[in-house]
Structure 1
């Protein structure tokens, strides 16, 4: 593929696929927070104004939803999509209408991740969700499968158009699908399987397809690691040449060179410092200079790495301890703040980020919310 075409694909990828909306500009952002509602006091999804210059925040609204543990925005920012993380028949995905990134909701649309004539546990515990102009895709952890939903002309959630189950056990392992990430040029989708210790690569039909046509096809194992590592979340470098993978159980961060749907290991470096076997999330700073990973269960905190701009390799430069059970975290678009969802401390911790060293400083500003699990930044106020 010609270099100019790769650049165009990369720009389109940044504009069309959304996980945390970190390309938005402006001082006061709309911030959406997903939570667990079971076993706690959370009502569902919360929205705030968050000022990325001074760290101040204001609660806007809350919408009732069941276990909306992971969120994403539509490409135009007028829809919010959320999983409903259950395994008892209530599992699925929601879409909510927004207006100018404010909590002006219409009746939410719900679609189940359980296909017709499904096997037991199908679609169970959806834990990750991504979207573009045509489709919403969920990773279903306990179900060990993937659900693809169509979107109508207004990008409202439609019926499931494809369901992919990984039902063959190998070496006694069972699939646990945890994360779905589109590749920079938009031709492929990478999927982590924590149970089978691998990363799959699917071809992705990014344009609206006729009924019955597979949206994800041509599955291949793009990267496989030793048993017990537990690949969880992926992110790409700013130029799209490298993918970074955090292993939940092994605690290592893996640097992978990416090209045309293929991954090649470059480096493995330990990120977890507590041996808790609970590594969780991974993100790169907006300027691409630093990478961060979250770790739970022992010595809860955020590992900090400097990124070599030429080789893509990592050098560990710090570790910031946090509240209990830091799950998802997000960096403000201007790079000044890193916010950590501390699930078991019932708060979002706000850290100031040094853009030169990458180090984090606790601002002692806490956003109190019950069982926070996901943070998504939308547009400016």
Structure 2
């Protein structure tokens, strides 16, 4: 097993790094980070077999690139770049061979199809408008979609930090059709979303508010009901914080989010009525943890700290959801994205 970590390339990072995972339980360890893909600003990426679909910040242009991995390294097989900023998020459907990107700066949502060899074809794009911009400084300059991926029923969903909205789409005849919109409270800063195991609830995290909103919804009638909202950081924490990544365990029992500023991962238990109960806040032992992720068994978790160029490895207790740090100060530069791989 290996872990891939990529991020910004503003200081010393050259792109995406691979760290070998060895051992098990408390003796599990990550090895030295080795650069396997040289690319500008791979702040988010996905993988399908030996293909890596990554954000590419190429100076005056931005977009995505596709790299093919081999025993001899990696080579770029295709790219789609446009003038301006690169996207912030990459989603994937490996069965349909579709890639979804959300561009925080240009407000463009894109759908690509890719071939077995990794060649990209743009399917469709939509641009979010300034419909309901929030009051915070980060919102007044326009819409900022930060997530674009699939729903339990196979529709698409975007979280827009600028508009405080969750927007739902369907890809119909290779065209994106807007279906419905859920509005978070003003200043929420909608960033990432996960869905309950039964598909009847979603949990959306607000970057600017450091909150998680629990929403009951019907993906046939598009009715929404806000159930509850929870702070991801302590009430008495007054310094700046930006809530970031959001994950739900495959058994549907626990939700995890990262906090950039409080520098922690918050663990919530999902109750039978889909409300949340705080289980744990654990340090990431570094500064500015944008992303974290787990292996396929969800027994091990790795968090990357962007500003302190380090990562932390945890052992996850599947019974009570808690995380126990087992390796700290793993050197990796400017990490913002974590992905376990074989």
**1:245 aligned residue:** 204
2:305 equivalent among 342, 367, 373: 342
Q: Does 1:70 align with 2:29?
A: no
**Greater relative contact order, per chain length (Cα 8 Å cut-off, separation 6+):** 1
Q: 1:225 to 1:324 in 2, by over 3 A?
A: same
1:142 equivalent among 93, 96, 105: 105
TM-score by length of 2: 0.87
**2:64 aligned residue:** 93
**2:292 aligned residue:** 329
| Distance apart, 1:357 and its partner CA | 2.5
How many Å separate the matches in 2 of 1:194 and 1:52? 40
2:265 equivalent among 302, 306, 310: 302
Greater strand fraction, Structure 1 or Structure 2? 2
How many Å separate the matches in 1 of 2:72 and 2:340? 13
Q: Does structure 1 conserve the Cα–Cα contact (< 8 Å) formed by 2:159 and 2:166? A: yes
Matches within 5 A, 1:248-287: 248-260=207-219, 262=222, 263-273=224-234, 274-275=237-238, 276-287=240-251
User: How many aligned residue pairs are there?
Assistant: 325
Q: Does 1:112 align with 2:81?
A: yes
| Distance apart, 1:127 and its partner CA | 0.7
How many Å separate the matches in 1 of 2:72 and 2:179? 38
Q: Does structure 2 conserve the Cα–Cα contact (< 8 Å) formed by 1:32 and 1:376? A: yes
Deviations 1:284-331 (A, max 9, x none): 23433221111112x2211111111x3222101221122110110112
Q: Secondary structure at the match of 2:319?
A: coil
Q: Which runs of 5+ in 1 are unaligned?
A: 1-28, 115-120
| Distance apart, 1:219 and its partner CA | 4.2
Deviations 1:207-231 (A, max 9, x none): xx5xxx41x213431x102221101
TM-score by length of 1: 0.79
| Distance apart, 1:165 and its partner CA | 1.2
**2:280 aligned residue:** 318
Q: Secondary structure at the match of 1:126?
A: coil
Q: Does structure 2 conserve the Cα–Cα contact (< 8 Å) formed by 1:294 and 1:328? A: yes
How many Å separate the matches in 1 of 2:232 and 2:200? 21
Q: 1:278 to 1:85 in 2, by over 3 A?
A: farther
Question: For structure 1, which segment, 195-204 or 141-150, has the greater mean C-alpha deviation from structure 2 after superposition?
Answer: 141-150
What is the root-mean-square deviation of aligned Cα atoms in Å?
2.2
Q: Secondary structure at the match of 1:295?
A: strand
2:5 equivalent among 17, 33, 42: 33
Q: Secondary structure at the match of 1:107?
A: strand
**2:163 aligned residue:** 196
Q: 1:242 to 1:155 in 2, by over 3 A?
A: farther
Q: 1:247 to 1:341 in 2, by over 3 A?
A: same
Q: Does 1:234 align with 2:196?
A: no
